[in-house]
Chains A and B, each alone.
Chain A
Amino acid sequence: MMELLASLENSGFGIWLRESPSMWAYPAVLTLHTLGLGVLVGGNAVLDLRLLGWGRAIPLAPLEKLFPVMWIGFWVNAISGVVLFVGDATTKGTTWVFMTKLAIIVVGVVLLRALRRTVYGRGQDAVVETPTSRVLAAASLALWFLAIVTGRYMAYV
């Protein structure tokens, strides 16, 4: 495992990402990771706030369109995240902080899919708000906040 991580980190791409002075290397990937975070966590926050009772005048049905926006943020970050991982594989691949962050993201994605099913699963004409959707909204908001917590913490390991 360690050999695999080291070979990733020492690949031409890994070295370029880490050591290139180009703004298109590490800085650009990190910027994309921040933008994706804002779109995913921010789009999610809008839906969660609405489900938790703020902005009640906003009809729920059209908010389903936030899901494609969130998935764009998610995939931008999944891809930029893999790239950042390659550049620092032996450190990130061996720390519990990174494993915790991955676990949080997996749970966050599962919750997001469950949230969509609960609220929009019966079609656009039968959008429902239930106690379950409120719990899922609160949990979702908390999970993506924890993803930021563990993500920032990685800068310190």
Chain B
Amino acid sequence: MNETLDLFAAWLRGTSISEVIRVSTWLWPVCEILHFFGLSLLIGVAGFFDLRLLGFMRRVPISAAWTLMPWAKAGFALAALTGVTFFVGAPEQYINNPAFYLKVLFLIVANLNAVYFEAIYRRQVEAKALDAAGPSAVKVIAVVSIVSWLFVIYWGRMLPFIGNAF
């Protein structure tokens, strides 16, 4: 398994797009800036919605807080796109790094949680059926969201300190 991963990393590193990312002096830092800004948008908007689900800022209808959610998704897209850029540019820094796999694990948990919320509750939210007080199940979803995004940041920050990155 490790050998396959190493072969994959070596192949990816050999592609011309990977070289472009590595050779450029400005692309990596610009992606870092956008990665952090995307992270902020995501944490801010999704965190705001989660706090509302948990009962803070009760005078904000849940359906109204929901209308900002495209900004959380835009933040995620920005962070994901720049994150993939890092991976393509230097795959060997991630492919054997335990922090990378833990970050991906929490990314999967956070995204499945968000998809589950949309699948089950989106209609009720948009029909303003949850505006007063949502069912307690949405509070569990809000907590899972906050905790899993925090761990995504934690393991992302650990990338250079655990394993071989940077």
Contacts and interface: CB of A to CB of B under 8 A. Distances in A.
B64 A59 contact: yes
Interface of B is mostly: helix
B41 A39 contact: no
28 contacts: A23-B161, A26-B161, A27-B157, A27-B158, A30-B157, A34-B153, A34-B156, A35-B150, A38-B40, A39-B43, A39-B44, A41-B44, A42-B42, A43-B47, A46-B44, A46-B48, A49-B45, A49-B68, A49-B71, A50-B68, A55-B68, A57-B63, A58-B60, A58-B61, A58-B64, A63-B60, A151-B36, A155-B32
B36 A148 contact: yes
B67 A35 contact: no
Interface stretch (B4-12, B51-59, B108-116, B137-145): B51-59
A44 interface: yes
Given A38-B153, A65-B57, 5 more contacts: A30-B157, A42-B47, A46-B44, A58-B68, A152-B36
A31 B154 contact: yes
A34 B42 CA distance: 13
Given A27-B161, A31-B158, A38-B153, A148 B68 contact: no
B44 A44 contact: yes
A155 B108 CA distance: 29
Given A38-B43, A49-B71, A31 B153 contact: yes
B84 interface: no
Residue picked from A55, A65, A153, most chain B C-beta under 10 Å? A55
Given A44-B44, A46-B68, A156 B29 contact: yes
Contacts of A151: 36
Interface in A103-157: 144-145, 148-149, 151-153, 155-156
Interface residues of A, number: 37
B48 A43 contact: yes
Contacts of A62: 57-60
A76 interface: no
Contacts, number: 104
A45 interface: yes
Interface in A68-113: none
A54 interface: yes
B33 interface: yes
Contact of B41 (A34, A45, A156): A45
Contacts of A148: 33, 36-37, 40
B161 A41 contact: no
B77 interface: no
B107 interface: no
A31 B157 contact: yes
Contacts of A145: 37
Given A34-B157, A45-B45, A152 B67 contact: no
B37 A41 contact: yes
B130 to A, nearest CB: 14
B64 to A, nearest CB: 4
B33 A42 contact: no
